[in-house]
Amino acid sequence: MTRTFFIEKGQKPTEEQIQEIKEVAKRPIVFDEDCPELSPAMEKAFRCAIAQRNRRKQA
């Protein structure tokens, strides 16, 4: 199950949210046919796309 939280600049997450994040971070990543593991080249392209998206959002 995926849960999404939107935190605005300057807003701090609640203790409950922090605890939930810490618990989830301990779980292993599970890849399947819908979400395969990325190759190093695809991971680099993905990180580049994220950086470009974030620059556009801040502008």
pLDDT at 7 (0 to 100): 76
User: Three-class SS of residue 46?
Assistant: helix
Is 46 domain-assigned?
yes
Phi, psi dihedrals of residue 23, rounded to the nearest 5°: -65, -45
Provide the number of structural domains found in the chain: 1
What is the value of pTM for the model shown? Answer: 0.49
Domain extent at residue 42: 35-59
Is 39 domain-assigned?
yes
Tokens of 4: 């999404």
Tokens of 46: 């993905």
Is 40 domain-assigned?
yes
Is 9 domain-assigned?
no
Is 48 domain-assigned?
yes
Query: 7-22 burial, b if ≥16 CB within 10 A, otherwise e?
Result: eeeeeeeeeeeeeeee
User: How does pLDDT run across 10-51, given as a tens digit for each residue?
Assistant: 888 889 989 998 999 999 999 999 989 999 999 999 999 999
Listing DSSP states for 18-37 in one string gives HHHHHHHHTSPP---SSSPP
